[in-house]
Structure 1
Amino acid sequence: MTRVVFLLAPRAYLLDIAGAADVFLAARSLGLPYELAYFAEEPDVPTAEGLPVRASTRVPALGRDDILVVPGGAGFTPGVAPAMRRGLDLLRVHHSAGGLVASVCAGTVALAEAGLLDGRRCTTHHDLQDDLAVRYPATTVVRDVLYVVDGRVASSAGMASGIDLALHLVATAHGPGVAGRIARSLVVYARRNGQQPVTGLLRHRNHLSDLVHRVQDLIETRFAEPLRLSSLARELGCSERTVTRHFVDAVGMTPLRYQHTLRLAHAEHLLADGSTLEEAARSAGFADSRSLRSLRKSKEPQHQ
C-alpha cells in the first residue's frame, strides 16, 4: 500500500489539494494500492476559498514507497512556509529515509525551506519563479514546464499542474496505460510537459467511440504481453475487421501500432527515471534492448 499524505498549510488552495488527490483516488478505484491521508499543524485548516477542511495532527508513519505532497496556498511566499514546522521536519525525515516528496504550485516553497532543493531542479507558479530563484540560489528554477522530477523531489507549476504531476507519478509506477484510463475518468486529455514524456498518449483518448475505448482499455491493461487481434475481437464480441476499422478511424493507427506506442511510452518513463535500456525494454514487453533502441531511433526527427 502506498500512502499519499498531503501536508496542509493555512489558506491552502482547494484545487492544489483536490487535483492531485483525485488522480490517486481514481488509481485506487482501479484496484491500485493507494491510500490518501491529510496532515496539518491544527485539525481545522482554513482554505484560500473560505471552505475549511479537517486534517489529522498525528504525524503519519511513512515507508519508502509513500509520497508526501505539499499543496500550495495563499500564505506561501519565498522564505515563508506558513505554520508548517512539523511538516517541514516530516519532509526532511521522509526524504532522508528514501521517500518521495512533491509539491503543487507555491508548495515548492516548503521543499526549499526544508532544504530539499539545494543542488536540484524545480518549478513553481510563474509569479513566484523569479523570487524563488533569488531566495534559494542553490536551486535551479525551470520555467515553462508543468512539473519537474529531480530524483526523489518533484514539483509542479500552477494549480492544475498537480494533476499532471500525479498522472506522471502513476504512469511511472504503473504504466502510461493506467494514467490514460485515469485521465479519461477525470475528463483530462492531451496533458503534456515540456521536459519529460508524460501522458502524450492521452490525445488518443479524445474521441467518443465506446468500442474503441474498450479496446484501448484491454490493450493498456496488457500492453507488455503478446496480444492477438483475434483475441481482442473475441472479447468484444465483434469481428477483427470491425475492431480495426473503428480503431483506425478514432485513433489514427492500428491496435498493434497503439500497443507499440504504449510500450515505447512506458519505456521512456522508465529511462527518464534512471532505468537501463535493458531494464526498460524488459518491463515494457520488448524482446530485447535492440528492439527498443530501433523503435526509439525510428521516432527521432529526420533532418534533411
Structure 2
Amino acid sequence: MARVVFLLIPSIHLLDVAGPAQVFSTAADLGHTYKLVYVSAEQDVATVQGLPLRAQTQWPELDADDLIVVPGWRGPVRMPDAGTFARLRDHHATGGTLAGVCAGADALGRAGLLDGRRCTTHHTVQDELARLYPKAHVVRDALYVADERVVTSAGVASGIDVALHLLSVRHGPRAAGQVARTMVVHAHRDGAARQISMMFRHRSHVDETVHRVQDLIDTRFTERLPLSLLARTASCSERTVTRLFRDATGMTPLAYQTVLRLERAEHLITQGATTETAARDVGYEDARMLRRLRARTGARATR
C-alpha cells in the first residue's frame, strides 16, 4: 500500500491539503491502494481558514512508492527544522516523488530540490521564488510542472490537477479520469495550461448545457469540432447551441475554440517552439492561420 504523506506547516491553506487528499482518498475508494498520513512538528496545526487540523508528529518509514505532498501556507511562518528538509532530500534520493502545492515549492527549495529543475508556484509569488532560488528555472504561468519526481503547482485548485497527474502517471489516464468524474471535476487540466486561462474566464455562468459543450471543446480543442457534434452534446439544435453559448460566454463556440488554440500556441512559443510546430500541435495544418491570428491579436513576432 502506497502512502501519501502530507507535511503540514502552520498557517496552511485548507484547499491545498483537501484537494489532493480528496483525489487520493477517492482513488482508494475506487480500488487503488493509498493510505493518507498527515505529519507536522506539532499535533495541532492552525489553518488560514480557521479550522484546526490534527497531525501525527512521527514520520512513517517511506519507500520509493510513497509520495510526500507539501501543501501551501500563508507566510511568514515557522518552517520545519533541518531534519525535515533532510528527510525530503533523502526521499527523493531513494526514488521517491515529492509535490509542492503553491508555497510548498518554498519548502522543496529549502531542501535543495529545486536547484537545476523546472518549477512553478502561484503567479503572485513567482518572482519571489525565482529570487530565493536562482538555480531553479521558474516556469511562469503554468498550473503545474513535473521535473525528475519533483512536482510543483500554482496552488489552491491546481493541487487537484497535480494529484490527478500523479494518478495518471502511476495508473494511467483512465484511472485519473474515473477519479475526476467521481469528484465532479470538469476536466483534468494539462500542467502547461495558463493559471488564468480562457477556460476560467468564461466559466462563471450557470448554464449546464453550455458547460457540457465547453467540456468537449476544452478537451478536444485541437480537433475539428463541427457544430453538429456540439449540438448532439448539448441535446439541442445547432441554432440553439450557438445562441445559448453566445448568451453565456459572449462568443460563438468556434471563437471560443480559436482562442483556446491561440492561448496554447502562445504558451508553446514562449517555451521555445517554432510557430510551425505550435500550429501543428494546436490543430492547424500549417502556420499561416496561426500567424494571421497572432498578428490580429497583437501577439509577439513569429519565429
TM-score range (shorter-chain normalised) is 0.5 to 0.7
When normalised by structure 1's length, the TM-score is: 0.64
Task: Render the CA deviation track for 1:112-163: whole Å, top value 9, x for unaligned.
Answer: 0000000000001112110110111100101111000001100011211000
Structure 1 residues 42 and 52, CA gap change in structure 2 (3 angstroms):
same
Between the aligned partners of 2:147 and 2:93, the Cα distance in structure 1 is 15
After TM superposition, the score normalised by the length of structure 2 is 0.64
Please list, as runs of the form range in 1=range in 2, the aligned pairs for 1:37-186 lying within 5 A after superposition: 37-75=37-75, 82-186=79-183
Amino acid at match of 1:154: V
Structure 2 segments unaligned to the other structure (5+ residues): 194-198, 200-210, 214-228, 236-279, 289-303
Unaligned runs of 5+ in 1: 201-205, 209-245, 253-296
- Give 1:192's aligned residue: 189
Letter in 2 for 1:184: R
Q: Secondary structure at the match of 1:23?
A: helix
Cα deviations by residue, 1:29-81 (Å, 9 ceiling, x for unpaired): 100011110110111111111211111111211010110000010125xxx76
Report the residue type matching 2:125 in the other structure: L
- Is residue 2:285 matched to residue 1:302? yes
3-state SS in 1 of match to 2:103? helix
Contact 1:7 1:87 in 2 (8 A): no
What is the CA deviation profile of residues 165-203 of structure 1, one whole-angstrom value per residue up to 9, with x for unaligned ones? 10011011111111111111111113423528xxx9xxx
Distance 1:114-1:81 versus aligned 2 partners, 3 A rule = farther
Tell me by how many angstroms 1:300 deviates. Answer: 5.8
What is the root-mean-square deviation of aligned Cα atoms in Å? 2.7
Cα-to-partner distance string for 1:81-133 (whole Å, 9 max, x where unaligned): 62344432221110111100111011100000000000000001112110110
Counting only pairs closer than 5 Å after superposition, residues 199-238 of structure 1 correspond to structure 2 as 207=212
- Aligned pair count? 212
- Which residue number corresponds to residue 15 of structure 1? 15
**After the TM superposition, which segments of 4 or more aligned residues of structure 1 sit over 4 Å from their partners?**
297-300
- CA drift of 1:250 comes to 3.8
Contact 1:66–1:100 (CA under 8 A) maintained in structure 2: yes
Identical pairs, percent: 51
Change (3 A) 1:53 1:299: closer
Task: Read off the aligned partner of 1:50 and give its amino acid letter.
Answer: G
Q: Could you tell me whether the CA contact under 8 Å between 1:41 and 1:87 is conserved in 2?
A: no
Shift in CA distance, 100/171, structure 1 to aligned 2, threshold 3 Å: same
